Amino acid sequence: MAEQAAPATAREWHLAARPQGWPVPTDFALVEAPVRTPGPGEILVRNAYLSVDPYMRGRM
**In the chain, where are the structural domains located?**
1-35+47-60
pLDDT at residue 60, as a whole number? 61
Residues 3-50 pLDDT 10s: 677 778 999 999 999 999 988 999 999 999 999 889 999 998 888 887
Q: Is 14 exposed, middle or buried (0-12, 13-18, 19+ CB in 10 A)?
A: exposed
Length of the chain: 60
Q: Is the pTM of this model over 0.75?
A: no
